[in-house]
Amino acid sequence: MNPFSSGTRLREMIRAIRACKTAAEERAVVRKECAAIRAAINENDQDYRHRNLAKLMFIHMLGYPTHFGQMECLKLIASTGFPEKRIGYLGLMLLLDERQEVLMLVTNSLKQDLNHSNQYIVGLALCALGNISSAEMARDLAPDVERLLQFRDPNIRKKAALCSIRIIKKVPDLAENFMNPASSLLKEKHHGVLITGVQLCTDLCKVSSEALEYFRENCIEGLVKTLRDIANSPYSPEYDIAGITDPFLHIRLLKLLRILGQGDADASDCMTDILAQVASRTESNKNAGNAILYECVETIMSIEDNGGLRVLAINILGRFLSNRDNNIRYVGLNMLMKAIMVDAKAVQRHRATILECVKDSDASIQKRALELVYLLVNESNVKPLTKELIEYLEVSDQEFKGDITAKICSLVEKFSPAKIWYIDQMLKVLSEAGNFVKDEVWHALIIVISNASDLHGYTVRALYRVFQASTEQESLVRVAVWCVGEYGDMLVNNVGMLDIEEPITVTESDAVDAMEVAIKCQRLGLTTKAMALIALFKLSSRFPSCSERIKDIIVQNKRSLVLELQQRSIEFSCILQKHQNIRSALVERMPILDEKTFSGRKAGSLPTAVSTSSIIPCNLPNGIGKPAAAPIGDLLDLSSDDAPPAPVSSGGDFLQDLLGVDLSPASAPSGTSQSPKTGTDVLLDLLSIGTSPSVQSSSSAIDILSSSHDNKAPVSNLNGLASHSSLSANATSPASSAGMMDLLDGTGAITQKHEENGPAYPSLVAYESSTLRMTFNFSRQPGNPQTTFIQATFTNLSPNVYNDFLFQAAVPKFLQLHLDPASSNTLPASGNGSITQCLKVTNTQHGKKLNRLEACWGSITLSSNHFGNFEYFGQGYIWHV
């Protein structure tokens, strides 16, 4: 009957579960047991209730659901016998957590048990309350617990004290009720009561400043005396641990003294003698002694200044650091982190030892030590410490490299005494652990390089050397590729040679080789390859002797399956073939990147949209503007593969879309050479959706391209085209649009055709087949630039009448589409009439974000006598809004 007498079924169940060889077997046994227990619960079986609950607890520990047993706990707790209550409370603490509503039901039973005549039952109730009480229960039962703090049996008093801690943590308002009873516990002799009383006072101080003041005034001397007595007490076997009487009490007293002494000079003064005694006389050959010393050091560090004591404390920590026990070293490092706020100089003395700890084989210690080193670094020691860390980086574990790299990069950036040093250190980190370096970090490096004009030659040669040694670290390759692209001529001609450098002979074709390696290497990512392609393009004008070879490499990539590479190589080869006159201007060196803009951007304080719309439109057309922030950002954004749609990608889409219009002849079956062109016009025009349509029709295509001289990098240039509204203003001129077409036309099939200035929004044949034509007319209301009205006109070119005409369209999420009803649902045959339908497209991100150009898809459902037709717009028939 009782589960704990011999031969019970609890034992048998455990044995059966342990005998299981597979998880499936175990599940089967547990399922069977649970079924039996559920049945017993349903029958309200009383005799085996506590045995069942015990079984459920075991099943619970194995990780199976046991919520159905929760009510059984309550029933057991409500029963009268001690054995039932004991197991019931255990189940309550194990199977329920404080968030469960069921818990509220137990409050009443708890209240009764707190007032029970059997002190062990009172003890059970206190224990359960202390472990799982919710705020509501704490409020309801606080008076009973408070009363029990004065109970005759010390074992109940100590339980009540800990229970009070839970109560005041849950309901801090109740703290003042416990202040008086808690302070009287401090005078007790029973160690259990004393220890819990001290703990209660500590927690009271944490939740209530009133309590803190109260204990400061009334208890400090008593506490100091208690600590002195216990520290000087003769051997007492009951409390002795490793030759020290009750280290637990020591530690708790020191902790409470720390809280009382913090920020109060008088209180601190009272305790200096005893702290000095504990710090100097505690045996440190066993863990218990060290635990006390550790606590004592922390107290010394926290209380008001006492120079002599602090020296003592730092010396103890020094001993900790040189201890062979890893635990002791760990806590030593931990404590030095706190000490550094108090006395940085003293901690600096242990620098060498701390650096050794960074190289420890224990990950916990490494981590602590690295954090400490990080705090130790200042302008004066950054060089040797960084050197040490970088040396260690070479031999450290893979898992630790990420941490250490991040720390080094941050240190180097923060304390760098000179640019050349910064660049040197970053190159070392990149070549050692470039794969762990975050994108922002190497972006920042590029900006620093760009700003250090006297170091361009030095940097590009250094990068070329490490690049030759290994291409394993991708971010190193990226920086190297960027620099070679920008400063390739300095690499070859040894421009700006520093004294410390060894001369290096690099031919133009060597540099091109290196870029080719980067493009062809399988391991490197798309971003790196795209950067290498751009670098090559730039080199084409720096190295006239290699330009044919560069052209070949670029042409090879025209067939790349990766869209980005394909597109860029088509663009670049087009420029190389047809626009020699503008090429050298296009690929000029990047202007110095603006550090401030970058850091602002990094901090997120400068929204890109603001910078683009405010700076670029006024600068670009003049051709003299300061390099703007956005193209730089774009260029950098380009390099993060996983970045969410950045301005760049909109550029990409844009180009892609243009190419779609241009290159897929299938989508323009009727061969109306005008309509795609007008389409492009419209596309470019509609780009201006973000700004007031100020048309500068005078500028020509060449103007557009040369106006972006100051941008230099073609990428940014093209991005500029895509993303900056000013250009679309230019683009309204037909000449410019033609130029665009040409620029982007890899096959060169389209003939340039100049047209008279059309209306601002010419109509577009959005779809045309042998059976149906759809024309779009665009209009926009002044003062409401977000919304574009499109009037769609459908004409039936087939000899059959369409009866159930239905036009549907879908747009990307940032656009809102409103479809008015069509003028009719019957479309007469042979072009004898048409249906019109109005579409209203609203760009919800107008002004906030650059317009992303995306395809809008539509379908037309037609049904006639002959066919039920469902047609899509081909890719060429996307409208851009």
The β-bridge partners of 772 are 796
Cα 805 off chain centre by: 50
Q: Which is nearer to another protein, 327 or 824 (CB)?
A: 327
CB nearer to another protein: give 361 or 770.
361
Work out which of 177, 262, 315, 327 binds another protein, going by CB under 8 A.
327
Q: Residue 446: which residues within 8 A CB-CB, separation 6 or more?
A: 479, 482, 483, 593, 636
Q: Using the 8-state DSSP alphabet, how is residue 802 labeled? A: B
- Scan residues 231-250 and list those touching another protein (CB under 8 A): 238-239, 241, 246-249
Selected binder of another protein within 109, 199, 208, 597 (CB under 8 A) = 199
Closest by CA position to 488, among listed 463, 525, 471: 463
Q: Which of 303, 331, 491, 715 binds another protein (CB under 8 A)?
A: 331
Give the per-residue contact string, 712-741, with another protein (x = CB under 8 A; - = no). ------------------------------
Of the residues 177, 364, 842, 863, which one makes contact with another protein according to CB under 8 A: 364
The first and second tokens of residue 100, run together, are 């469960």
Q: Cα 762 to chain center, whole Å? A: 46
What is the x/- site pattern for another protein, positions 5-24, by CB under 8 A? Answer: x-----x--x---x------
CB of 310 to another protein, least distance (A): 19
- Residue 363 C-beta: closest distance to another protein, Å: 8
What angle is formed at CA 45 by the lines to CA 41 and CA 49, rounded to 5 degrees?
75
Is the distance from CB of 373 to CB of 389 less than 8 angstroms?
yes
Contact range with another protein by CB under 8 A, out of 21-29, 159-167, 673-681, 727-735: 159-167
Q: Judged by CB under 8 A, which of 19, 31, 83, 580 binds another protein? A: 83
Of 2 and 272, nearer to another protein (C-beta) is 2
Nearer to another protein, 328 or 835 (CB): 328
Cβ closer to another protein: 156 or 809? 156
Nearer to another protein, 90 or 484 (CB): 90
DSSP state of 435: G
Which helix (H) or strand (E) segment holds residue 863: the answer is strand 857-863
CB of 326 to another protein, least distance (A): 4
Q: Which two tokens stand for residue 265?
A: 């000079």
Report the residue from 165, 390, 446, 616 that binds another protein according to the rule CB under 8 A: 165
Site string for another protein, 287-306 (x = CB under 8 A): xx-xx--xx-----------
Cα torsion for 26, 41, 136, 193, to the nearest 10°? -70
Half-sphere exposure of 459 (CA within 13 A, CB side): 31
- Minimum CB distance to another protein, residue 109 (Å): 17
Q: Which stretch binds another protein (CB under 8 A): 118-126, 689-697, 726-734, 790-798?
A: 118-126
Nearest C-alpha neighbor of 535 from the set 714, 744, 706: 714
The contact pattern for another protein, residues 782-821, with x = CB under 8 A and - = no contact, is ----------------------------------------
| Phi-psi label, residue 861: left if phi above 0, alpha if psi -120 to 50, beta otherwise | beta
Q: Does 263 bind another protein (CB under 8 A)?
A: no
CB of 275 to another protein, least distance (A): 16
Instruction: Report, in Å, the least distance between residue 538 CB and another protein.
Output: 47
Can residue 860 be called a binding residue for another protein (CB under 8 A)? no
Least Å distance, CB 24 to another protein, is: 17
Who contacts 327 (Cβ-Cβ below 8 Å, separation ≥6)?
A: 287
Binding-site residue total for another protein (CB under 8 A)?
70
Give residue 625's Cα distance to chain centre: 36
Nearest-10 Cα torsion for 76, 78, 81, 84: 10
- Helix (H) / strand (E) containing 448: helix 439-451
Closest distance of CB 105 from another protein, Å: 18
Q: Does 362 bind another protein (CB under 8 A)?
A: yes
Q: If binding is defined by CB under 8 A, does position 326 make contact with another protein?
A: yes
Task: Give per-residue burial for 857-868: e unless 16+ CB within 10 Å, then b.
Answer: bbebebebeeee
Instruction: Specify the residue, 237 or 307, whose C-beta has the smaller distance to another protein.
Output: 237
Instruction: Decide: is 162 part of the binding site for another protein (CB under 8 A).
Output: yes
What string marks each residue from 179 to 198 as x (binds another protein by CB under 8 A) or -? Answer: ------------xx--xx--
d(CA 42, CA 862): 64
Residue 518 phi/psi, 5-degree rounding, is -65, -35
| 155 vs 696, beta carbon nearer another protein | 155
Sign for the CA dihedral angle at 597, 601, 604, 608 comes to positive
Pick 89 or 802: Cβ nearer another protein: 89
* Cα–Cα nearest to 82, from 185, 9, 2, 15: 2
The DSSP letter of residue 875 is G
Binding mask 53-72 for another protein (x = CB under 8 A): -x--xx--xxx---------
Please check whether residue 839 is in contact with residue 789, taking contact to mean a CB–CB distance below 8 angstroms: yes
CB 194 within 8 A of CB 186: yes
Residue 131 binds another protein, judged by CB under 8 A: yes
Residue from 36, 40, 93, 555 in contact with another protein (CB under 8 A): 93
Among positions 68, 120, 789, 814, the unique one binding another protein when judged by CB under 8 A = 120
Contact indicator for 533, 714 with CB cutoff of 8 Å: no
Angle at 463 between CA 458 and CA 465, to 5 degrees: 100
Comparing CB distances to another protein, the nearer of 128 and 809 is 128
Q: Is 152 one of the binding residues for another protein (CB under 8 A)? A: no
- For another protein, the closer CB: 331 or 841: 331
State yes or no: residue 469 binds another protein (CB under 8 A).
no
Stretch binding another protein (CB under 8 A), from 156-164, 400-408, 707-715, 728-736? 156-164
CA dist., res. 316 & res. 298, Å (int):
11
Determine, following the binding rule CB under 8 A, whether residue 99 of this chain makes contact with another protein: yes
* Distance separating alpha carbons of residues 875 and 660, to the nearest angstrom: 7
- In b/e form, how buried is each residue of 524-559, taking b as 16+ CB within 10 angstroms? beebbbbbbbbbbbbbbbbbeebbebbbebbbebbe
Measured distance CA(62)–CA(52) in Å, rounded: 15
Collect all residues with Cβ–Cβ distance below 8 Å to 544 and sequence separation of at least 6: none
Listed ranges 157-165, 482-490, 574-582, 643-651: which one lies at the site for another protein (CB under 8 A): 157-165
Output the CA torsion sign for 735, 741, 743, 748.
Answer: negative
Q: Report the residue number, 63 or 821, with the smaller CB distance to another protein.
A: 63
Binding another protein (rule: CB under 8 A), the pick from 41, 90, 721, 853 is: 90
Q: In angstroms, rounded to a whole number, what is the distance separating the alpha carbons of residues 843 and 851?
A: 8
**Residue 222: both structure tokens together:** 């008593």
Q: Is 403 in the site for another protein (CB under 8 A)?
A: no
For residue 486, the number of C-alpha atoms closer than 13 Å in the C-beta half-sphere is 28
Select the residue interacting with another protein from 49, 159, 529, 773 (CB under 8 A). Answer: 159
Give the residue carrying structure tokens 């500029």.
720
Q: Is 375 in the site for another protein (CB under 8 A)?
A: no
Q: Under the criterion CB under 8 A, does residue 353 sit at the interface with another protein? A: no
Q: Which parts of 744-763 interact with another protein (CB under 8 A)?
A: none
**Which residues contact another protein by CB under 8 A?**
1-2, 4-5, 11, 14, 18, 54, 57-58, 61-63, 81-83, 86-87, 90, 93-94, 97-99, 120, 123, 126-127, 130-131, 155, 158-159, 162-163, 165-166, 191-192, 195-196, 199, 238-239, 241, 246-249, 251, 255, 287-288, 290-291, 294-295, 326-331, 334, 361-365, 367
